[in-house]
């Protein structure tokens, strides 16, 4: 909001930014232009407000007066059901949040490692490059649900010693394996977008390949791909709900259990609302990160 | 080879695919000497500097730094580069680091200087290039001339034996060229050994001990600036200079 206000101030407001010392007064032409712009923006605002109200009113009226509305409201938007389901669904959502946080960190680490391996040069690194490339190809191609089934149901059945058998563990493993392949490609795009002259400058100072990567290339690359990474994090937040298929009681599974007692689907709506409430702040944060990276002002008045 | 030159380039050849940029280039640089390379773009001036800094591998010939063959693959390229300072046409400062962190990166990571000492030396170096108050600015917030002075400070802080300057004023607005050239003049006066590529013929005339005209992969003509720039013996050199001066 603040940048919108300051933007408006810039176009309309005279006497900003160090101009205080000179005796500038806006010319009659400029005053007339400002007046016109203000009138125009008042008019646009009025039109926008009115049309929004009309559209929302018509939609609301159409929905509420439609023949099946009372049954829809009862089945999907029952207040009592929502209140009774909320504790269980919220408890499940807490699991989703923890899954997202833990997996997010592991995905970033694995993804970055894969990306670095894929960008290594020289014949010595060939096996590493090949392995990383094969990994990314494989896990980008496999549907996430399939990986979930394969690991979530298949791995515990093997009764491997030393590895946990919990569905939650294997569900998280599936998320990490799948997402790391995508995130690796995002990181790699970032690494390859750093101009070769940056490497040349670092190497000419005597920094080794590793030091150049660590101190010059990666810091710039990671900053550059922050917006797409945040986008993947928002996506992970939703997909953390997929572990419900393994029987883990997360928000979705909790809602399903609540629903099963009386076939009232309100708990699903509650879970959906909670997910949306989680992702919206993430999306705004993503926008903010992207804007901070210098997309501001690039368009001028266009 | 009776006395050891600081740098000896011997019969160096370098090609990129079918494009032979350097055919047979030989050149020696004595300590404290300033050698200026001139020639049309594409004549191999930058490639020669990149070969000296081992950013390119030569196809043939060798390059000796203080008598030691640095083109030998058994020599650590990182150790050689740490002894040579390079300044690029487009500054190539690290945009994610502040000015002072740009300068201390190599001392701390390569030369294992204690961080506090490195900062002190970096500040002294910034003082010297007249940018002490910009220590904590980001490179993007500096003018081109200021960025190039930081780049020079970044190279100088490592006490290089040799400075390679690749068209360091070509990307600058005309009114900013002076501040960089003044700095180079001071360096020369202090006895820094330098090889530089430039299109600033007036500057070359002032600071160069020797001017080399590169053409067709060879050093076509070399000698003191008064001779090469004032009274060129070769037709090609004359043509090149007249084209530059008619601009």
Q: Cβ(A179)–Cβ(A111) under 8 Å?
A: yes
In A, minimum Cα distance to B106 occurs at A205
How high is the pLDDT of residue A295?
Answer: 47
> What are A151's two structure tokens?
């690991």
Task: Specify the CATH class of B1-83+162-247 in words.
Answer: alpha beta
Beta bridge pairs of residue B169 = none
Residue at token pair 């220590």: B135
What's the average model confidence in pLDDT over A98-105?
Answer: 95
Min Cα distance B176 → chain A (Å) is 22
Put simply, whether B96 touches A (Cβ < 8 Å) is: yes
Put simply, whether B82 touches A (Cβ < 8 Å) is: yes
pLDDT score of A122 more than 90: no
Query: What region, left, alpha or beta, does residue B11 occupy, with left being phi > 0 and alpha being psi -120 to 50 degrees?
Result: left
How high is the pLDDT of residue A15?
Answer: 44
**A22: pLDDT confidence band, cut at 50, 70 and 90?**
confident
Put simply, whether B16 touches A (Cβ < 8 Å) is: no
Residue A206 to residue B78, Cβ atoms within 8 A: yes
How high is the pLDDT of residue B192?
Answer: 95
How far apart CA B236 and CA B43 sit, in angstroms, is 12
Domain boundaries, chain B: 1-83+162-247, 95-160
Residue B78 to residue A208, Cβ atoms within 8 A: yes
pLDDT score of A104 more than 80: yes
Q: Cβ(B130)–Cβ(B9) under 8 Å?
A: no
Min Cα distance B216 → chain A (Å) is 26
In B, minimum Cα distance to A222 occurs at B96
Residue A216 to residue B90, Cβ atoms within 8 A: no
Residue B105 to residue A205, Cβ atoms within 8 A: yes
> What are B38's two structure tokens?
């001139």
How far apart CA B151 and CA B59 sit, in angstroms, is 30
Put simply, whether B81 touches A (Cβ < 8 Å) is: yes
How far apart CA B113 and CA B119 sit, in angstroms, is 10
Residue A200 to residue B92, Cβ atoms within 8 A: yes
How high is the pLDDT of residue B247?
Answer: 59
What's the average model confidence in pLDDT over A211-237?
Answer: 91
Q: Cβ(A267)–Cβ(A255) under 8 Å?
A: yes
How far apart CA A243 and CA B207 sit, in angstroms, is 72
How high is the pLDDT of residue A12?
Answer: 42
Distant-in-sequence, close-in-space partners of A174: CB < 8 Å, separation ≥ 6: A144, A147, A148, A150, A151, A152, A243
Residues within 8 A of A (CB atoms), B 179-238 only? none
Instruction: For chain A, state the CA radius of gyration.
Output: 27
pLDDT score of A300 more than 50: no
Residue A198 to residue B155, Cβ atoms within 8 A: no
pLDDT score of B116 more than 50: yes
How far apart CA A39 and CA A52 sit, in angstroms, is 20
The pLDDT tens digits of the residues spanning A29-64 come to 999 999 999 999 999 999 999 999 999 999 999 988
* CA B148 to each of CA B118, B143, B204, B238: distance values in angstroms, whole numbers, following the listed order: 20, 9, 18, 31
pLDDT: is A34 or B199 the higher one? A34
Residue A197 to residue B92, Cβ atoms within 8 A: yes
Residue A220 has its nearest CB partner, among B81, B83, B96, at B96
* B210-215 sheet: strands from edge to edge: B84-87, B162-166, B194-197, B34-38, B210-215, B218-223
Q: Cβ(A216)–Cβ(A199) under 8 Å?
A: yes
**B87: pLDDT confidence band, cut at 50, 70 and 90?**
very high
User: Is the Cα dihedral A15, A16, A17, A20 positive or negative?
Assistant: positive
The pLDDT tens digits of the residues spanning A241-296 come to 899 888 888 999 999 998 888 888 999 999 999 999 988 888 888 788 777 765 44
Question: In chain B, what residues touch A208 (CB-CB under 8 Å)?
Answer: 78
CB atoms under 10 Å from CB of A72, counted, come to 14
How high is the pLDDT of residue A164?
Answer: 82
Angle between the N-to-C axes of helices A28-65 and A69-76, in degrees from 0 to 180, rounded to the nearest 10: 100
In A, minimum Cα distance to B54 occurs at A204
Q: Cβ(B138)–Cβ(B95) under 8 Å?
A: yes
Distant-in-sequence, close-in-space partners of B135: CB < 8 Å, separation ≥ 6: B98, B99, B100, B122, B123, B126
With 0-12 / 13-18 / 19 or more C-beta atoms within 10 angstroms meaning exposed / middle / buried, residue A76 is middle
Residue B109 to residue A215, Cβ atoms within 8 A: yes
Residue B110 has its nearest CB partner, among A201, A206, A219, at A206
* CA A206 to each of CA A167, B63, B105, B108, B148: distance values in angstroms, whole numbers, following the listed order: 50, 18, 10, 11, 19
Task: Specify the CATH class of A78-295 in words.
Answer: mainly alpha
Q: How many Cβ pairs within 8 Å bridge chains A and B?
A: 58
What's the average model confidence in pLDDT over A108-123?
Answer: 93
pLDDT score of A187 more than 50: yes
Residue at token pair 């002294």: B124
Question: In chain B, what residues touch A202 (CB-CB under 8 Å)?
Answer: 94, 105
How high is the pLDDT of residue A293?
Answer: 67
3-state SS class at B219: strand
Choice among A91-105, A200-214, A280-294, B107-121 with the minimum mean pLDDT: A280-294
Question: In chain A, what residues touch B93 (CB-CB under 8 Å)?
Answer: 201
In B, minimum Cα distance to A214 occurs at B109
How far apart CA A78 and CA B131 sit, in angstroms, is 68
How high is the pLDDT of residue A294?
Answer: 55
Q: How high does pLDDT run on average in chain B?
A: 92
pLDDT score of A9 more than 70: no
Alpha helix positions (H), chain A: 2-12, 28-65, 69-76, 79-119, 126-141, 144-149, 155-158, 167-192, 196-204, 209-212, 218-224, 226-239, 251-262, 266-290
Can you say how many angstroms the Cα of residue A39 is from the centroid of all Cα atoms in its chain?
38
Q: Cβ(A225)–Cβ(A189) under 8 Å?
A: yes
* Chain A residues interacting with chain B (CB cutoff of 8 angstroms): 197-198, 200-208, 211, 215-216, 219-220, 223
The pLDDT tens digits of the residues spanning B20-61 come to 999 999 999 999 999 999 999 889 999 999 999 999 999 999
Residue A204 has its nearest CB partner, among B81, B90, B96, at B81
Question: In chain A, what residues touch B79 (CB-CB under 8 Å)?
Answer: 206
* CA A22 to each of CA A18, A19, A34, B127: distance values in angstroms, whole numbers, following the listed order: 9, 6, 21, 34
Q: What is the pTM of this model?
A: 0.82
* CA B179 to each of CA A2, B13, B54, B152, B182: distance values in angstroms, whole numbers, following the listed order: 40, 35, 29, 12, 5
**A159: pLDDT confidence band, cut at 50, 70 and 90?**
confident
What's the average model confidence in pLDDT over B144-164?
Answer: 94
Min Cα distance B230 → chain A (Å) is 34
- Give percent of chain B with pLDDT exceeding 90: 79
Residue A203 has its nearest CB partner, among B81, B93, B154, at B81
How far apart CA A118 and CA B107 sit, in angstroms, is 30
Min Cα distance A1 → chain B (Å) is 26
Residue A220 to residue B95, Cβ atoms within 8 A: yes
């Amino acid at each position: 909001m603040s940048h919108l206000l300051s933007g408006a101030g810039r176009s309309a407001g005279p006497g900003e930014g160090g101009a205080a010392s000179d005796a500038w007064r806006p010319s009659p032409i400029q005053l007339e232009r400002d007046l016109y712009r203000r009138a125009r923006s008042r008019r646009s605002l009025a039109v926008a407000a009115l049309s929004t109200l009309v559209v929302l009113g018509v939609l609301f009226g159409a929905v509420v007066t439609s023949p099946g509305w009372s049954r829809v409201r009862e089945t999907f938007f029952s207040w009592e059901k929502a209140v009774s389901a909320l504790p269980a669904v919220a408890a499940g959502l807490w699991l989703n949040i923890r899954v997202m946080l833990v997996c997010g960190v592991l995905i970033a680490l694995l993804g970055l490692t894969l990306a670095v391996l894929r960008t290594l040069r020289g014949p010595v690194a060939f096996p590493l490059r090949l392995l990383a490339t094969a990994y990314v190809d494989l896990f980008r191609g496999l549907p996430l649900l399939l990986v979930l089934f394969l690991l979530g149901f298949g791995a515990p059945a093997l009764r491997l010693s030393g590895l946990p058998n919990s569905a939650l563990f294997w569900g998280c493993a599936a998320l990490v394996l799948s997402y790391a392949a995508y995130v690796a490609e995002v990181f790699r795009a970032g690494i390859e977008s750093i101009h070769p002259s940056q490497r040349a400058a670092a190497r000419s100072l005597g920094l080794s390949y590793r030091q150049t990567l660590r101190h010059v290339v990666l810091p710039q690359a990671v900053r550059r791909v922050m917006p797409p990474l945040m986008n993947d994090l928002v996506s992970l937040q939703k997909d953390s709900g997929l572990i419900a298929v393994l029987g883990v009681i997360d928000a979705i599974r909790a809602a399903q259990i609540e629903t099963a007692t009386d076939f009232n689907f309100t708990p699903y709506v509650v879970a959906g609302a909670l997910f949306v409430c989680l992702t919206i702040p993430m999306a705004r944060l993503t926008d903010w990160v992207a804007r901070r990276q210098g997309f501001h002002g690039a368009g001028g008045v266009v | 080879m009776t006395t050891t030159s600081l740098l000896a380039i011997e019969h160096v050849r370098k090609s990129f695919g079918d494009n032979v940029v350097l055919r047979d280039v030989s050149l020696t640089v004595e300590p404290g000497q300033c050698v200026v390379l001139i020639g049309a773009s594409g004549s191999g001036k930058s490639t020669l500097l990149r070969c000296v800094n081992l950013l390119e591998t030569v196809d043939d010939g060798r390059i000796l730094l203080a008598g030691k063959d640095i083109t030998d693959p058994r020599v650590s390229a990182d150790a050689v580069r740490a002894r040579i300072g390079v300044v690029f046409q487009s500054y190539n400062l690290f945009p994610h680091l502040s000015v002072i962190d740009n300068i201390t990166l190599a001392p701390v990571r390569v030369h294992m200087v204690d961080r506090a000492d490195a900062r002190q030396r970096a500040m002294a170096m910034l003082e010297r290039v007249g940018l002490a108050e910009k220590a904590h600015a980001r490179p993007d917030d500096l003018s081109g001339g200021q960025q190039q002075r930081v780049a020079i400070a970044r190279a100088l802080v490592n006490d290089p034996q040799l400075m390679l300057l690749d068209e360091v004023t070509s990307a600058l607005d005309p009114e900013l060229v002076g501040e960089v050239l003044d700095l180079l003049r001071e360096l020369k006066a202090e006895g820094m050994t330098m090889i530089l590529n430039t299109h600033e013929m007036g500057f070359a005339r002032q600071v160069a001990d020797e001017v080399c005209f590169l053409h067709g992969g060879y050093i076509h003509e070399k000698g003191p600036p008064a001779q090469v720039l004032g009274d060129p013996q070769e037709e090609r050199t004359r043509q090149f200079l007249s084209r530059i001066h008619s601009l």
